[in-house]
Each structure stands twice: as C-alpha cells, then as structure tokens.
Amino acid sequence: MDHIGRLRELSIRQIAVWACLASVAMLAVPFGLSVWLFSGELVDGGAGLPLGVAAAVAAIAVGGTGLVWWIADQLFVARLFDRRSLPARPEFFDFQDLNQPMHWDEIEGKALKDLRYVVFDTETTGLRPSDGDEIISIAAVRVEDGAVKENDEFSRLVNPGMPIPKESIKFHGITDDMVANEASIGEVLPDFRAYVGDCVLVAHNAAFDMKFLHLKEDATGVAFPNLVLDTMLLSVFLEHESENHSLDGITQRMGISIEGRHTALGDSQATAAVLLRMLQRLETRGITSLRQVVEACAKIEHVRKLREKF
C-alpha cells in the first residue's frame, strides 16, 4: 500500500493526535531554534531576539501550524468520503436462508471446478431486512471453468420506494436521485432470477443478502432455491486462526484489490476473485466436491449459531 493510502486509512483519533503533535512541533521547533541561535546575545545582556527574527519565527510557527491542520482537514474529508475506510457489514446469521438446495442429487458429487457459479452482492437501505429495509442495488458476475466470465455482468439500481437514510449513503454512495427513475424490486428480481438460472449462488456473508431475497418471494413471486455458498464461512474453514473474516480482511491477506468497495458490482467482483483462490486452496486440502464444501460450512454455521446464544 502506498503512503497516501496509509494516511487515508488512519482513524479519526489517529489523525487528531498526529495533528496535535505536529502543531506542537511546528510551534516549539522554530522558537527553540531561534533561542539556541541567539542564546549568546541573551547571555551577554543583549536586548533579546531581533524584531525581524521574532517576526519570521512567528510566521513560520503560525504558517506551519496552519499547514498541519489543513492537511488534517483533508484527511478528515478523505475519511468521510472514502468508502474503503468504512467498517465492514456486520456478520448476519439466519441459517435457514442457506439451506435450500436445488437439484441437490444432481450436483452434490460434481467437482467444484466443474460447477457454474453466480457471485452476487446487494446494497441496501440498512441492515434490518425484517424491519423494512430494502435493496437499492444488486449485481453479480459469473464464474465458470475457473475464471470470471468477462462482459457477462448483472448490475441494476433499484427504487426502494422509500427515502434512503443518510447513514447508509456514506457506505454505498447511492442517493434518492440516483434511484428515482429506476425499476422496483418486483421488476428487477425476475431479471436477476433469469440471470442466475440453476447456478450455485455465492456471496460474502450470504445469509444477509439471501434474507432480503427470501423476504420478497411472496410479493414478487420470485424464489431462489439455489444452493448457496458463503465465502465468509469458507474463510473461517480455511483460515480458522484468523479473527478477521470480513471481505476487506480476506482480500488484504490474499493481495486482491477491490475496485468499487461498497458497491454491489465491485464487491461481487472481489468476492469472485476470493472464491477462485478458495477453490484452489480447498482442492489442495482434498476437498473437491460440493458435498464436502457444504458439510464443512454446515459445521461452521452450527458452531457459530451456538455461540450466538451465549
């Protein structure tokens, strides 16, 4: 990561602390240096610092302090609008939304590398699908034959039929004006269902996205009985020693860059890249079939569900 990137990722507290320390330094260093340079005159009974020197020292101190806080202000602004620095979506557990396999008997024994996947993500008005939050963007990419299919993406904005809270806009950048003339979820989901077909669905923290889709089944008549894989659970299985299984944490460990973080398409592309790496690692561990992966994830789901009770 470059130096500018590191500065942009400083926390608000770190920026304030460094700005204060730099301000003190900008004030203390010029005065300390001038006193040292003219200490002889002071000891010999001189009148003190020459007026011109004092004015220059004051100008340097004030100007330097102003520069420090201008830089700090720019970093504060960068933190406010750089969606890469926002916290990850919290883990969402509603395990029944991951247990609806379609044509299980036909695909359970297939090799992972021979399956077709649709990796998707949603952006929403908030984090509570059962309390009325809505999808405002849905996107997906296809993974076949060990690669992401180029020029075969699905990406749609959705009119939620409600104002988008300001608190969520800073995460995804989608405003009311951007979705005002877009189709409703009832019009978008049939198109997405056609795009998915009978592929295996993949998402990061998949229970969250699947909850939104399942809650719309009655209203839209569109169901997604596809088998679902969750890259978050796969990460726990592959890197159980790690405590960070967010999409940001995984991509950083894998050296995968995310273009368009906190956008449905950008996160879908990043998750697809993560999936391909994970499939390779699973194969090296002797896990080559869909059944093996599902069983491994089911164990993790069970353990995490038990932890939620304590």
What span, in angstroms and rounded, lies between the C-alpha atoms of 1 and 213?
36
Q: Which amino acid is at 171?
A: F
% of the chain beyond a pLDDT of 90: 50
Q: In the structure encoding, which two tokens stand for residue 42, read together?
A: 């002071």
pLDDT, tens digit, 9 for 90 and up, residues 93-122: 444 445 545 556 556 678 898 899 999 999
pLDDT, tens digit, 9 for 90 and up, residues 149-166: 999 999 999 999 999 999
Residue range 173-180: mean pLDDT, rounded: 96
pLDDT band at 30 (very low <50, low <70, confident <90, very high): low
CATH number of 95-307: 3.30.420.10
Q: Give 70's contacts (C-beta < 8 A, 6+ positions apart).
A: none
**Cβ–Cβ < 8 Å for 305, 265:** no
Strand segments (E) across the chain = 117-124, 135-144, 147-157, 200-203, 228-230
The β-bridge partners of 141 are 119, 153
- pTM passes above 0.85: no
What phi and psi, each to the nearest 5 degrees, are found at residue 234?
Answer: -65, -35
- The domain ranges of the chain are 3-81, 95-307
Q: Which residues are catalytic?
A: 262
